[in-house]
């Protein structure tokens, strides 16, 4: 509002002007201040910007002055809109934002509105630990820009469930009381005003505690197993390992040889030098590669043991010990020697690899232990050995000779004798040891010495291989007897030999005895051998004695042997069979009866007998045997051999039979059961003439044939046909020894017939004729064999030259064979011919097997046989030469719905027979698919495709429809569509269509299953509206079914929103609708398969939504300015009423319309000043209006009075300023 006030003032000055005016005249142009902006808010706050939003003030303004400051730096902007995004701010700083409305003169401003807000602080960065210990962490971080009020530092360990929070205004924080070797998650939150900015999580770890004291649990020459305990306060800590390092002692801590890492509480340090000391260091390795302080220990490996430790007795009171230095020996090694004396343990400490141990007891075992020592607690494996001191020697040795090869030694026990003592006895001759023996008794017999020789005998005391000094003596042995004395005899001589005896002899005496009577003797001085005694008796026992003589000593040895017996006389064969030979022989010469026996040898057998004959049994037939006989005397000595060779008789042949007989030849075969090389066979043939009437009377002619063969078969030729012959076969050995003869008789065959003819009479009979054979004899008969056309071959015997063969199999090829039979029924060669019987006709059956294009012709196999079939269909040969095993045939690709007639012809050889005709028809073709053209609540209109390929034939359609109530209905039609009437609503029907052809045959049905009639529509559809939902309700349709459901759709026409749902209930509440909107609803009955009835529709509006945030503002005028937030949904305006609160009957009504997005307002004018009014606002919609929102407001005072007061104050203020200004000016 622009108010222009003109004020004229008169001012007196020192020089009055001509007009007499006291003051010059001034013109003033004044503007009222803009109103204060409202609802100043800050939003969208970031680290460097905010978004200011406010509501424009009442009245006019040209633009807004926005100023902001952080207390140090100020900035401003002059937007014209009611919002501004302020940028380039400092993070975490509190800013005061002032918004002032500026009038159109760019100068006049209204009262400002101020709001204060922080920018968001930046995220703390670069979080690190600048100091840490086993229980403490010093954390620092950076802030790239801006400021904060303070920081909140959080440290957390999940496994310990430990959280600590500290607040600080600096960029560092210290945490104590932490667990060693743990990872803590640290976050720093920057806080500025109400804003917090959380840093990224950083993991920081404390130093681990050092491990517990180090212990060596296992020590070897090349390894040390070091063990420690879990560091304090670190049980269960994750990611903990241990670093183990070691170095040679004295090399300096910086010169580490080896290091390793383990997660366990021990480590095996390997590949170390033996007997060497190492400094071992262990420290805990925690998370983030943090290490604890180190724990040290000095330990040595074990030295290796001494090697080749030996103990050697020096005397009966001392032992010498020697050994080889250990492998990898060190200069500082010492050696501990330990042993036990009777007085107690003794220990020697030496640095050399030998020592003498003295002051010991004689013949006593001492155990010595030598241990290499590198340092205290570092000792090698003890090496042990033992040794005995020498025992005392025996004091007296007594020697006694027992025989030519044995002497006896004896002695008393030595003074220091112990149970472990033994004695070593040594016998030597001329410095060479003859015998060396150990014994535990004080006596020993030395044997196997040389007779007549002198020996040196010594005895030493021994304890565990340790010998005393020796005691010695000399003694001589007696002479020996001869060795290997042998006496070998013949039938009349005895030869004696022997080996020269050991030692020396003067001569030998040889004597021979028979029955303890000396026969002869000789003395041998020059050892001339052999000594032979002659003219002895055959087969007698003799004793030979040889005595050796040496001075006065004589010793003898005997040997016993016998002379050989004389042989028996010549062997003679007494008798032979196939399994035995009986032989005999003469007795031997110059031998006493009863002083000998005979041994008979054949094959590998030996028979002993006292007789001069024997029977050899269990022999093989036809076998040559070599037989030997010897005389057996004393000591089983045998004479020279007398031999002979003889055969046993061969076995007779067996299974002598003919292998082939012709008109002039007979072939014989036989089997030799024990055939042997050299066998041959003699075959004798003799002809016999037998009477025709009495075959038992046969005469033998002089005609005979004899032949020899080595085979087991032969053929005798040149015989007369139809005649009887006798054949004899005899087996011969190599020396012509004969077996028992074997004889058989056979007829030769007669000649065959000629001119055989077979003629077919009917299906079961054939006539045969033929002529007589050559050399025909009276008594001949004919055998007729029939096969092929009978179940089994048949034989007939006839005397005439022809016959009628009946009872044959129809349609079969018969083979007839005729042969001549001689007197003994032997037959000549058969003559054969073949002929067919006529086939029988079949019974024919015809079937379509339910097919529309195939005919199957079947027939029963006729009696007898058929070679093949021919099938005629409608007098046309369709199937030619069907196999006889086929009794049916199929004709495919025929026309549907046609009549067909079949005839089957049987064929065998040159003959055939036709069946009676058989007729059937093919099924008609199936109609095409069924289409549902229309469905109502009481009918279904269907259409189907015409049955294809059915021209030139008569057919119709059979339509069947069946509901679930089983009321089956059928109709016959010639067209391809039909309306099924009088159906039940909402009911499924199974509809089928089939073609009906000739012979009443029906095609396969075409189905349309469960075709549903339409259900009836719902009834009495109604609705109830609310602000955001509408409830629909209806009644069930007529003929309602339990499976029905309802398909409900609704559309908001104004917003083009469509939706749908289904329900089984007769009501539905639809939620989430738009208030004040018009909706169209349809409810459709729907069957279980989705068939819908006719839809029922209705429409309604949702109730309008009430206004919210209703506020009022009163000015100095008699009016009220209402404002509110636009209600949800749609509306058609608002109805506003205003009345004095105390007099509601004086109501003023306002109706307003139009969009008021986002804020709505209305000025209720024409009211009374400074009066309380009750105002109501109702949202108007297309349906029901909203609920009424009520507010009480008071109007302002009179506007003229207020303005006058304001102008007066303003004028006086201006005059006051001008007056002061003039006074100052005048004074100047």
- CB neighbours of residue 404 within 10 Å: 22
Low-confidence ranges of the chain (pLDDT < 50): 1-29, 252-255, 690-702, 1201-1202, 1204-1205
Level-2 CATH architecture, domain 572-647: Sandwich (2.60)
- Answer whether 522's CB lies under 8 Å from 488's CB: no
Question: Which of 1101, 1102, 1123, 1104 lies closest to 1112, judged by CA?
Answer: 1123
Q: Could you give the CA distance from residue 152 to residue 1180 in angstroms, rounded to a whole number?
A: 55
Q: Could you give the CA distance from residue 975 to residue 953 in angstroms, rounded to a whole number?
A: 15
Q: Could you give the CA distance from residue 653 to residue 712 in angstroms, rounded to a whole number?
A: 9
Given the structure tokens 């010495």, which residue do they identify?
Answer: 449
Question: Which of 642, 645, 638, 580 lies closest to 614, judged by CA?
Answer: 580
Question: Which of 485, 490, 513 lies closest to 563, judged by CA?
Answer: 490
Question: Which of 424, 421, 414 lies closest to 393, judged by CA?
Answer: 414
The pLDDT value recorded for residue 1165 is: 83
Q: Which CATH superfamily is domain 215-300 in?
A: Immunoglobulins (2.60.40.10)
Q: CA separation (Å) from 1053 to 272, 546, 1050, 1105, 1181?
A: 96, 158, 9, 18, 15
Q: Could you give the CA distance from residue 1217 to residue 1223 in angstroms, rounded to a whole number?
A: 10
The H or E element that residue 868 is part of is: strand 868-873
The pLDDT value recorded for residue 252 is: 46
844-921: CATH topology: Immunoglobulin-like (2.60.40)
Q: What angle do CA 654, 657, 661 make, to 5 degrees?
A: 160
Tell me the CA end-to-end span of the chain in Å, nearest whole number: 39
Level-2 CATH architecture, domain 398-476: Sandwich (2.60)
Q: Could you give the CA distance from residue 460 to residue 442 in angstroms, rounded to a whole number?
A: 11
The pLDDT value recorded for residue 703 is: 56
Question: Which of 376, 388, 207, 389 lies closest to 302, judged by CA?
Answer: 376
| Helix, strand, or coil (residue 269) | strand
Q: Which residues, listed in sequence order, are joined to residue 730 by a DSSP beta bridge?
A: 682
Q: CA separation (Å) from 40 to 43, 87, 114, 385, 1063?
A: 10, 18, 8, 109, 52
The H or E element that residue 1098 is part of is: strand 1096-1101
Q: Could you give the CA distance from residue 315 to residue 989 in angstroms, rounded to a whole number?
A: 132
Using only C-alpha atoms, the chain has a radius of gyration, in whole angstroms, of 75
Give ranges for CATH 2.60.40.10 in the chain.
32-118, 127-205, 215-300, 307-388, 398-476, 483-562, 572-647, 661-747, 754-836, 844-921, 930-1011, 1019-1101, 1108-1195
Give the strand order in the sheet containing 466-476: 432-439, 421-429, 454-463, 466-476
- Answer whether 1075's CB lies under 8 Å from 1108's CB: no
- Answer whether 674's CB lies under 8 Å from 650's CB: yes
| Helix, strand, or coil (residue 618) | coil
Q: Which CATH superfamily is domain 661-747 in?
A: Immunoglobulins (2.60.40.10)
- Answer whether 1026's CB lies under 8 Å from 1102's CB: yes
Question: Which of 193, 174, 172 lies closest to 124, judged by CA?
Answer: 172
Its pTM surpasses 0.95: no
Q: Between 3.40.50.720, 3.40.50.980, 1.20.1260.10, 2.60.40.10, what CATH number should domain 1019-1101 receive? A: 2.60.40.10
Burial class (CB in 10 A: 0-12, 13-18, 19+), 1150: middle
Q: Between 2.60.40.10, 3.30.300.10, 3.40.50.10680, 3.40.50.11740, what CATH number should domain 127-205 receive? A: 2.60.40.10
Given the structure tokens 């743990």, which residue do they identify?
Answer: 182
Residues 6+ positions from 372 with CB-CB distance below 8 Å: 275, 303, 304, 305, 306, 326, 329, 333, 335, 379, 380
- Answer whether 239's CB lies under 8 Å from 183's CB: yes
Q: Which CATH superfamily is domain 754-836 in?
A: Immunoglobulins (2.60.40.10)
Q: CA separation (Å) from 930 to 923, 939, 1113?
A: 20, 15, 77
Characterize the bridge pairing of strands 724-732 and 680-690. Answer: antiparallel
Level-2 CATH architecture, domain 307-388: Sandwich (2.60)
- Answer whether 460's CB lies under 8 Å from 424's CB: yes
Q: CA separation (Å) from 435 to 404, 445, 462, 1014?
A: 16, 11, 16, 135
Q: How far is CA 199 from the centre of its chain?
A: 51
Q: Which CATH superfamily is domain 32-118 in?
A: Immunoglobulins (2.60.40.10)
- Answer whether 459's CB lies under 8 Å from 411's CB: yes
Level-2 CATH architecture, domain 930-1011: Sandwich (2.60)
Given the structure tokens 């050299």, which residue do they identify?
Answer: 678
1108-1195: CATH topology: Immunoglobulin-like (2.60.40)
């Amino acid at each position: 509002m622009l108010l222009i006030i003109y004020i004229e003032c008169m001012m007196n000055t020192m020089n009055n002007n001509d007009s007499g005016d006291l003051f010059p005249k001034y013109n003033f142009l004044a503007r009222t201040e803009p109103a204060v902006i409202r609802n100043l808010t800050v939003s969208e706050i970031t680290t460097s910007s905010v978004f200011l939003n406010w509501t424009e003030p009442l009245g006019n303004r040209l633009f807004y002055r926005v100023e902001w400051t952080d207390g140090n730096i100020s900035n401003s902007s002059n937007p014209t809109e009611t919002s501004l995004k302020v940028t380039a701010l400092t993070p975490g700083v509190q800013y005061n934002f002032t918004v002032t409305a500026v009038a159109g003169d760019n100068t006049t401003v209204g009262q400002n509105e101020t709001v204060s807000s922080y920018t968001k602080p930046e995220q703390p960065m670069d979080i690190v630990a600048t100091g840490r210990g086993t229980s403490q962490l010093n954390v620092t971080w950076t802030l790239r820009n801006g400021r904060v009020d303070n920081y909140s530092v959080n440290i957390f360990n999940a496994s310990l469930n430990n959280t600590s929070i500290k607040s600080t205004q600096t960029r560092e924080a210290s945490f104590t009381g932490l667990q060693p070797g743990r990872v803590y998650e640290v976050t720093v939150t920057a806080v500025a005003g109400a804003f917090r900015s959380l840093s990224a999580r950083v993991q920081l770890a404390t130093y681990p505690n050092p491990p517990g004291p180090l212990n060596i649990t296992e020590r070897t020459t090349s390894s040390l197993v070091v063990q420690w305990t879990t560091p304090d306060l670190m049980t269960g800590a994750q990611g903990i390992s241990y670093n183990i390092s070691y170095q040679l002692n004295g090399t300096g801590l910086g010169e580490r040889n080896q290091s390793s890492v383990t997660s366990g509480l021990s480590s095996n340090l390997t590949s170390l030098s033996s007997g060497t000391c190492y400094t071992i260091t262990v420290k805990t390795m925690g998370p983030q590669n943090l290490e604890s302080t180190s724990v040290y220990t000095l330990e040595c490996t074990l030295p290796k043991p001494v090697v080749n430790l030996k103990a050697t007795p020096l005397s009966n009171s001392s032992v010498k010990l020697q050994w080889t230095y250990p492998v990898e020996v060190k200069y500082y090694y010492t050696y501990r020697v330990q042993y036990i004396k009777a007085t107690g343990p003794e220990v020697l400490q030496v640095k050399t690899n030998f020592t003498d141990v003295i002051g010991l007891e004689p013949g006593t075992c001492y155990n010595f232990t030598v241990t290499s020592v590198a340092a205290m607690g570092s000792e090698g494996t003890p090496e042990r050995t033992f040794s005995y001191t020498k025992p005392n020697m025996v004091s007296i040795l007594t020697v006694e000779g027992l025989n030519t090869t044995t002497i006896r030694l004896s002695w008393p026990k030595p003074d220091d004798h112990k149970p472990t003592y033994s004695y070593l006895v040594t016998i030597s001759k001329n410095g060479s040891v003859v015998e060396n023996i150990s014994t535990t008794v004080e006596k020993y017999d030395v044997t196997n010495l040389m007779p007549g020789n002198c020996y040196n005998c010594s005895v030493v005391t021994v304890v565990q291989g340790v010998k005393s000094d020796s005691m010695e003596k000399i003694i001589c042995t007696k002479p020996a007897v001869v060795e290997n004395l042998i006496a070998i005899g013949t039938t009349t001589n005895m030869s004696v030999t022997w080996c020269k005896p050991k030692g020396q002899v003067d001569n030998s005496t040889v004597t021979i005895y028979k029955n303890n009577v000396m026969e002869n003797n000789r003395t041998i001085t020059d050892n001339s051998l052999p000594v032979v005694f002659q003219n002895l008796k055959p087969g007698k026992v003799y004793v030979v004695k040889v005595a050796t003589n040496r001075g006065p000593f004589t010793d003898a040895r005997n040997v016993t042997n016998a002379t050989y017996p004389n042989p028996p006389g010549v062997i003679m064969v007494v008798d032979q069979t196939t399994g035995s030979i009986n032989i005999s022989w003469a007795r031997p010469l110059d031998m006493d009866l009863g002083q000998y026996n005979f041994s008979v040898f054949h094959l590998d057998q030996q028979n002993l007998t006292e007789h001069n004959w024997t029977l050899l049994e269990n022999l093989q037939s036809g076998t040559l045997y070599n037989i030997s006989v010897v005389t057996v005397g004393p000591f089983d000595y045998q004479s020279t051999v007398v031999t002979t060779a003889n055969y046993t008789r061969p076995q007779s042949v067996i299974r002598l039979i003919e292998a082939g007989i012709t008109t002039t030849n007979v072939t014989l075969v036989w089997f030799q059961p024990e055939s042997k090389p050299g066998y041959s066979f003699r075959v004798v043939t003799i002809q016999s003439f037998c009477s025709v009437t009495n075959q038992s009377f046969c005469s033998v002619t002089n005609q005979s044939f004899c032949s020899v063969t080595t085979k087991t078969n032969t053929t005798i030729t040149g015989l007369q046909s139809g005649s009887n012959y006798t054949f004899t076969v005899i087996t011969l050995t190599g020396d012509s020894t004969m077996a028992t003869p074997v004889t058989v008789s056979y007829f030769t065959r007669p000649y065959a017939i000629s001119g055989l003819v077979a003629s077919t009479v009917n299906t079961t009979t054939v006539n045969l004729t033929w002529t007589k054979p050559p050399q025909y004899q009276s008594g001949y008969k004919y055998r007729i064999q029939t096969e092929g056309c009978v179940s089994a071959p048949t034989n007939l015997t006839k005397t005439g030259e022809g016959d009628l063969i009946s009872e044959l199999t129809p349609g079969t090829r018969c083979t007839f064979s005729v042969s001549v039979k001689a007197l003994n029924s032997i037959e000549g060669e058969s003559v054969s011919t073949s002929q067919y019987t006529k086939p029988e006709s079949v019974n024919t059956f015809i079937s379509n097997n339910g097919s529309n294009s195939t005919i199957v012709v079947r027939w029963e196999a006729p009696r007898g046989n058929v070679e093949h079939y021919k099938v005629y269909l409608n007098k046309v040969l369709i199937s030619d030469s069907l196999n006889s095993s086929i009794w049916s045939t199929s004709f495919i690709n025929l026309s549907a719905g046609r009549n067909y007639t079949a005839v089957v012809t049987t064929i065998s050889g040159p003959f055939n027979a036709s069946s009676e005709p058989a007729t059937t028809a093919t099924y008609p073709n199936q109609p095409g698919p069924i289409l549902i053209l229309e469905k109502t609540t009481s009918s279904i209109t269907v259409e189907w495709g015409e049955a294809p390929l059915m021209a030139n034939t008569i057919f119709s359609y059979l339509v069947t429809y069946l509901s679930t109530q089983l009321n089956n209905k059928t109709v016959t039609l010639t067209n391809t569509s039909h309306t099924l009437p009088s159906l039940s609503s909402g009911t499924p029907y199974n509809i089928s269509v089939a073609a009906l052809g000739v012979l009443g045959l029906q095609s396969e049905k075409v189905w349309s299953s469960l075709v549903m009639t339409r259900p009836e529509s719902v009834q009495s559809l109604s609705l109830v509206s609310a602000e955001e939902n509408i409830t629909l309700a209806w009644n069930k349709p007529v003929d309602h079914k339990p499976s029905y459901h309802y398909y409900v759709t609704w559309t908001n026409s104004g917003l083009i929103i469509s939706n749908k749902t289904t329900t089984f209930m007769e009501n539905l509440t639809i939620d989430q609708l738009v208030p004040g909107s018009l909706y169209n609803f349809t409810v459709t009955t729907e069957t279980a398969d989705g068939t819908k009835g006719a839809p029922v529709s209705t429409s309604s509006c949702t109730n309008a939504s009430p206004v919210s945030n209703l506020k009022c503002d009163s000015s100095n005028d008699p009016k009220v300015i209402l404002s509110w937030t636009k209600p949800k949904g749609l509306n058609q305006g608002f109805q506003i009423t205003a009345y004095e609160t105390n007099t509601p009957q004086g109501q003023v009504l306002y109706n307003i319309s139009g969009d008021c997005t986002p804020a709505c307002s209305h000025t209720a004018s024409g009211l009374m000043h400074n009066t309380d009014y009750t105002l109501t606002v109702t949202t108007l919609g297309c349906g029901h209006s909203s609920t009424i929102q009520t507010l009480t407001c008071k109007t302002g005072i009179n506007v003229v009075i207020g303005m006058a007061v304001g102008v007066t104050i303003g004028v006086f203020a201006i005059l006051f300023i001008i007056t002061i200004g003039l006074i100052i000016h005048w004074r100047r």
